[in-house]
Structure 1
């Protein structure tokens, strides 16, 4: 008697076994294979990159934190560890595998995983009862997103942030700054060497 894995096509069986064997890494790999232009990397960010990316955040004044493309939660757990007890973390991803995985593995009442597009961030915030976000984090590969989606997300992000808030972006290429520049007057930059691959870090601040 054959099981469901044996009945599946060969490539599907490989992806399923990877997910079961490697847990979060398997889910991340599966997501990359299905949507490579949306994920951007086959390996989650390093702990060093996460720490450096989140350093400028004023957690005492952060009520709503949003992340685009959370993957398997590499940033989610560190953000939740830093958030106030009454704050909110909203993560938005077009990949249902990632949203499903996060929904099952993160049991925090402050956590809201949303299956949707980052371009709809303003509507998503309103639907959850929030007017603006304090910080928005993104690892989406802006330069490879389809149909002018990169510029649209940058524009919507600026509108969704409160004055004094920031757009936190980590990318393998510098071009991400080009998408931020039309909207953010102050863009601080950094670099994380201890990552596979090394990546550029940007913090775009909305004027008070």
Structure 2
């Protein structure tokens, strides 16, 4: 109910009427290493659908930083997961947020952001911040709803990701999610700010 309430209050930053389901969360967080001490950044965690599986995969290792622009979600998430560094901030400021913590790069960035609600400039700024802070062998994951995959914002997002990463792999459809979704795995950031969203 709190998710729906936040959507009604601010649909442009929440972007969905319900949180992602467990099946989608498993697929979206599969890139989080089960060994080592990775730095994992979660963008737009909302009520924490991806937060718990990330924590399970980390099992006390590495660092988990969650960046949430909605103040209500950020407060609740911090209370539920004191082991997570929850930051009330804009994802476009990721480089600054990492620098403030003495970090230069992230090993994995998992996004739950509502891309369809973003303007072209917002998409550009967030993706640029991800590319600028992701390690050369890092992985960026995000998802799209199947029914909206061919809508202009979703197509623009995919073009933008392909212009910024050497590899973009699309998962099988997660039918168990409501609505069905798919996950993009983006690897090897190019570190260039080429954008083809206007083509």
TM-score (norm 2): 0.84
Inter-partner Cα distance in structure 2 for 1:62 and 1:29: 35
* Cα displacement (A) at 1:84: 4.6
Q: 2:81 aligns with which of 103, 106, 117?
A: 106
Q: 2:175 aligns with which of 174, 186, 193?
A: 193
* Cα displacement (A) at 1:207: 5.4
Inter-CA distance 139–85: structure 2 relative to 1 (3 Å threshold): closer
Inter-partner Cα distance in structure 2 for 1:35 and 1:147: 19
Q: Aligned residue for 2:118?
A: 145
* Cα displacement (A) at 1:27: 2.1
| Higher relative contact order (Cα pairs below 8 Å, separated by 6+ residues) | 2
Q: Aligned residue for 1:162?
A: 135
Inter-partner Cα distance in structure 1 for 2:161 and 2:126: 10
The answer to whether the Cα contact below 8 Å between 2:131 and 2:189 also exists between their aligned partners in 1 is no
The answer to whether the Cα contact below 8 Å between 1:60 and 1:84 also exists between their aligned partners in 2 is no
Q: Aligned residue for 1:81?
A: 56
SS at match of 1:126: helix
Bigger Cα displacement from structure 2, 43-52 vs 168-177: 168-177
Q: Does 1:68 align with 2:43?
A: yes
1:106-147 per-residue CA deviation (whole Å, 9 max, x = no partner) reads: 132xx1110110000010011112110001111212232136
Inter-partner Cα distance in structure 2 for 1:160 and 1:113: 18
TM-score (norm 1): 0.81
* Cα displacement (A) at 1:104: 1.5
Inter-partner Cα distance in structure 2 for 1:55 and 1:93: 21
* Cα displacement (A) at 1:93: 1.2
Q: Aligned residue for 1:46?
A: 21
* Cα displacement (A) at 1:91: 0.7
* Unaligned 5+ runs, structure 1: 1-25
1:56-98 per-residue CA deviation (whole Å, 9 max, x = no partner) reads: 3323145211111101111111111111534111111110000
SS at match of 1:168: strand
How many residue pairs get matched?
181
Inter-partner Cα distance in structure 2 for 1:177 and 1:57: 21
Bigger Cα displacement from structure 2, 138-147 vs 197-206: 138-147
Q: Aligned residue for 1:181?
A: 162
